[in-house]
Amino acid sequence: MSISVDIAKLPLLLTELRLPTIKQFWEEFAERADMEGWPASRFLATLAELELAERERRRIQRHLVAARLPSGKTLDTFDFSAVPMVSKAHVMALAAGDGWLDQGKNLLFFGPPGGGKTHLSAALGHTLIDNGFRVLFTRTTDLVQRLQTARQDLALASAIDKLDKYDLLILDDLSYVEKSQAETSVLFELIAARYERRSLLITANQPFGQWDRIFPDKAMTIAAIDRLVHHATIFELNVESYRRRTAVGRDAAPSATTTDADNCRPATTTSETGDN
């Protein structure tokens, strides 16, 4: 086949083909290829690689924006020595994302306010996005409100379906769901829909004992807990508030009341029951 080639049209062609990175760099690489005598195939492959790498970078950037993670809360800024019961190696393995997100396993972070639950969950979210996963961080009350509105519009199922695109949904502060919000069962329906398919990371001040107010009735509370813990890793960040500790300038040792041997047990629990 014979094609008439007009190099002057190349920028237009590359725009038409949606190859902005090649458009930006082809001249620079063409010059180098000519100078260093690259074979045409190497030149073409280099440009293709460049376009793909840039596309991936932009994709991750978009996912990061969409995730609505609190800014600055990354693993780099998380001080693991403040939570000796949480193994850094274990968190790092979870941050790689392999083997639990594709099985819809859950993470549960419990502990008093200021212990680092939000920070650690956001940090995990950040790293998972860097590793190509999709994450949404939300206050539980905000999401429940959104789902309640969807229910009023008879669109709850599709609202829950839309959340399927997220490999991990981080529900921060589950214990702050109000009684009036609990009266509709949207949270239960979300948990049931994601069960064994899509992962949840839930943070809460209170472990299960006080979850009665979060769901409409006792049976639903038990059913929700059952699904959440069936395939779950539980971290208990039972430490004094990091804020308070840094404010009073004491060193980062956790409070003596919470670091007895019992609390140094491995932070992982794969529980078949709802007890804690």
Binding site residues, ligand ADP, CB under 6 A: 73, 77-79, 82-83, 111, 113-119, 242-243
* Number of C-beta neighbours around residue 67 at 10 A: 21
| Separation CA 144–CA 150 (nearest Å) | 10
Q: How far is the CB of 111 from ligand ADP (least distance, A)?
A: 6
Question: Coil, strand or helix: which one is 109?
Answer: strand
| Separation CA 257–CA 260 (nearest Å) | 7
| Separation CA 102–CA 92 (nearest Å) | 17
Contact partner at residue 133 from Mg ion, ligand ADP, none, CB < 5 to 8 Å by partner kind: none
The closest alpha carbon to 43, from 55, 33, 31, belongs to 33
3-state secondary structure 57-98: HHHHHHHHHHHCCCCCCCCCCCCHHHCCCCCHHHHHHHHHCC
Nearer to ligand ADP, 14 or 171 (CB): 171
Q: How far is the CB of 113 from ligand ADP (least distance, A)?
A: 4
Q: How far is the CB of 115 from ligand ADP (least distance, A)?
A: 4
Question: Do the beta carbons of residue 190 and residue 220 sit within 8 Å?
Answer: no
Nearer to ligand ADP, 19 or 123 (CB): 123
Nearer to ligand ADP, 19 or 125 (CB): 125
Q: How far is the CB of 261 from Mg ion (least distance, A)?
A: 27
Q: How far is the CB of 224 from ligand ADP (least distance, A)?
A: 21
Binding mask 102-121 for Mg ion (x = CB under 5 A): ----------------x---
Contact partner at residue 217 from ligand ADP, Mg ion, none, CB < 5 to 8 Å by partner kind: none
Q: Which residues, in sequence order, are CB contacts of 16 under 8 Å at separation 6+?
A: none
Nearer to ligand ADP, 116 or 125 (CB): 116
**What is residue 253's DSSP assignment?**
P
**138 belongs to the binding site for Mg ion (CB under 5 A):** no
Contact partner at residue 114 from Mg ion, ligand ADP, none, CB < 5 to 8 Å by partner kind: ligand ADP
Q: How far is the CB of 219 from ligand ADP (least distance, A)?
A: 30
Contact partner at residue 125 from Mg ion, ligand ADP, none, CB < 5 to 8 Å by partner kind: none
| Separation CA 31–CA 41 (nearest Å) | 15
Residues that bind Mg ion (CB under 5 A): 118
